[in-house]
Amino acid sequence: MSMAKINDDGISAFDDIKGLSRDRPWLLPSNRKLRHLQGISVRNLALSRPLSRARGKTIDDESLPHALKTPAKVLAQRENPKLEHSRSSNDLKSSPSKVNGVSRTEHSDSDVTAKRRPSASKLRRRSTLNWTNAPPRVRQTKLEDVVRDRMADTWFSIHCSNSPDPIYVSEVIEKAMNPSFRFFDLNIYGPSVTRLEELTVKYWAKTENMGIYTLLVELQLCLRSLQFIGKTLESFHHPLPHNCILFHLSDGIYTSFTDLPLDQAVIAPAKAPKQSQVLQPTSSFDALMRLSNLDDCIQDALSTREKLASQINSLLEEQKESNHTINAASEAEQSLASTTRFLATSRKLLKTAEARRTELQISLEARRAAIASGKLAQQKAQSHLASAQANLPSSRSLLHTTRAEISGQLRRICEDLLCIYPIEPFEQKPLSFTIRGLHLPNATSISVEDADPLITAAALGYLAHIVHLLSLYLSSPIPYPPTPHGSTSTILDPISTNMPSLAARTFPLYQKGAVTYRFEYGVFLLNSDIELLMSRQGSRMVDLRHTLPNLKYLLTVLTTGKGQLPLRKKGGSKAVGNGGTIEGRRLANAEEVEKDLHSNGKIPATGTFD
C-alpha cells in the first residue's frame, strides 16, 4: 500500500511501499477550477453505515482502520496470535439470577464452583451460519433480499453559491453499487461558473423498498483540498471507504478523504525526550479589573438601550392618533389627486364623444339627402320606363339597321381600297403577289439580292398606307403605328424600352441606305400589325411571313357580304350590284388566292375564307 505525502508546494507525491508507483497530477491545487471537472462517480454504495471489520478480527476498537496505534500496541499485536471471530450470536455468560441452578445471592467469594463456565448440556451455542444447510430457494431469497437492500437507483446534482438552482443534474443509474455517470462539460455556463473553486455535490439514492429518493450524501468542498489518486482506478491499490465520491478532472481522478487504511503495520518513530514544563504566565490584576469595568460598561449600555426602547415605544403609543390623522390626510390628498386626474380624463372622453356624435349627425343628414335624391331619380326613371319600353322595339331595329349600314360601309371602303391598291397574284412564284403591279416578296426572301430594293420599298410604302387606313376605318388601334411616306415609309416600336431615343425605336421600311437587321425588324412589325387586325376580325393567319397574302385575305374577308353595297354618306356614285364588275373581280381574286393556298398546302382543302 502507499502513503500520501504533501510537499511544501501543495503537490502530492506518492511512494508505493510495494514498489508500485502512481502518476502525478498535472494541475496545481490553486489552478483547479470547475472547468476541469469532467465527471463524478461513486464507489462502495451503502445506504447504512455498519461498523466495518476486517475478516478474522473481532469487532472492537482495535479493528477500526483509523484507530490510534502506539508502539506498545503494535508490539503486543505481533507477539499475541490473532483473535478468532466467534461464530455465536448469544452471550455465553450466566444469567443474572442463577448459575447452574444456584441463586447469585447464595454465592460467596470462596465458592469456586459458582465461578466456573456453565456446562454445554445446559447452555447451547446457536449457530449463525443458517445458510449452509438451507434449501436453494431460501438461499436465493436471502440473496435477492441482500441485493435489493444494497442495489439502488442513484443520481447527483452540482450546486454553486452564485446560483440557487443546480447547474447540473445527472441521469439516473438504476440498480448499481458502483455507478459511473456520464461525463459532462461545464464550459457552457460561462466564466461565472467555470472559474469557481467551491461546489456542493448532493447524492440521492433509492432502493426498491423505498418510495422516494433520499439525500444520501451532501458534500461541500473546495477543489484545492481534493487528493489525487491516479490517472485511472487500476493504478490505485487502497480500499475505498463507503460512499466514496470520485471526481474525474482533466488530469486524473481525485477524491476527498484525507487518509487511507494501511495493510502493513508502521513502526512508530522513537519518542522524543519530554521537555520540561514551563509555567505559563496568567492575567494580571489590572487586566482583570479592566475586564470587570468593561463588563460593567456593557451591562450599563444594555440597560440604557432597553430604557431608550421603552421610551420610544411609549412616544409612539402617545402619538398614534396624530400619526393616524396624518396618514388619513395624506391618503385623502392622494385620493383627491387621482379623482382630479380621472375627472380630466372623463372630460376629454366626453368632448371626443360629442365631436363623434356631431360627425355622425352630419353624415346621417347627408345620407338622408342622398336617399331622397335617389328616390326622386328612381321615380323619374319609373315614369320614363313605360315610354322607354314602348320605344324599345324601334330602338332595337334602329340598332340592327345601324350595324348593317356600318358593315356595308366597311365593305364599300375595303372595295375601294382593293380598287386603289389592287393585290394580284404573281404568276412566276406561288404565294407571291403584287400591289399596284409592284412585286413584294414574302419575309423569307425579302432581303435576297435578286429583289429590287426600290420596288420593295415602294410596295412596302403602299402596304403601310393600307394598314394605317384599316386601323382607322376599323377603329382598331395597332401597337406599331406605321408612317406611310411612299418608298421612305417607317414604323415605330413604342413598346421596346431598351432603346432610349425615339429615333432608335423608328425602323425603316426601305432597304437602301438602312441597316439590314433594322429593315427586317420593321417588316416584322408591319406583319405583326396585320396579324392583330386579322385576329380582331376573327380570321386565322396562315403564316406571319406572308405579307401580301395575309393582307389580301383580310380585305377579302372584310368585303364578303350579302346585298348591294351602300352609297356614300355625302354624295358619290350609286351602289354596284352583285353582278357588277367590282364584285365579280373580287370573287375571282378570292378564288385564285384560295386555290393558290390549297395547292401549296398552307390551309386545309376544306378551308374557306369566310
pLDDT single digits (tens) 537-573: 888 887 888 888 889 888 888 888 766 666 666 544 3
Residue at 371 is within a domain: no
The rounded distance, in Å, linking the Cα atoms of 150 and 179 is 12
Residue 312 forms part of a structural domain:
no
Structural domain ending residue among the three candidates 234, 255, 276: 255
Q: Please report whether residue 528 resides in a domain.
A: yes
3-state secondary structure labels for all residues of 375-422: HHHHHHHHHHHHHHHHHHHHHHHHHHHHHHHHHHHHHHHHHHHHHHCC
Residue 354, domain member (yes or no): no
Task: Specify the pLDDT at position 432.
Answer: 83
For residue 78, is it within any domain?
no
pLDDT reported for residue 95: 44
Closest to 41 measured CA to CA, from 214, 159, 184: 184
Q: Which of 79, 83, 25, 95 is nearest to 56 (CA)?
A: 83
What confidence score (pLDDT) does residue 20 get? Answer: 44
Residues 6+ apart with CB under 8 A from 175: 151, 152, 153
Instruction: Report phi then psi at 487, rounded to 5.
Output: -80, 0
Amino acid at 596: D
pLDDT score, position 268: 38
Single pTM value for the model: 0.36
| Residues of the chain falling short of pLDDT 70 | 1-23, 48-132, 257-280, 445-450, 562-610
* Residue 178: CATH number of its domain: 2.60.40
Main-chain dihedrals φ then ψ at residue 67, nearest 5 degrees: -70, 150
Contact yes or no for 199/30 (Cβ under 8 A): no
CA distances from 449 to 60, 144, 452, 517 (A): 131, 113, 8, 15
- Residue 544 belongs to domain with CATH number: 1.10.418.40
Compute, in degrees rounded to 10, the torsion defined by CA atoms 229, 235, 241, 247.
40
What total of structural domains would you count in the chain? 2
Q: What is the pLDDT of residue 311?
A: 93
Residue 252 in grid coordinates: 486524473
- Domain termination site, one of 204, 235, 255: 255
Distances (CA, A) of 40 to 181, 189, 201, 478: 6, 18, 10, 88
In a domain, 300, yes or no: no
Task: Look at residue 202 and tell me if it is in a domain.
Answer: yes
pLDDT at 52: 47
Last residue in a domain, options 255, 272, 289: 255
Residue 442 is assigned to a structural domain of this protein? yes
As a whole number of angstroms, the distance between CA 448 and CA 457 comes to 14
Q: Of 463, 372, 472, which is closest to residue 413 (Cα–Cα)?
A: 472
Q: At what angle do helices 547-559 and 320-420 cross, to 10 degrees?
A: 90
R_g of the chain, CA atoms, integer Å: 62
**What is the span of the domain harbouring residue 244?**
2-47+136-255
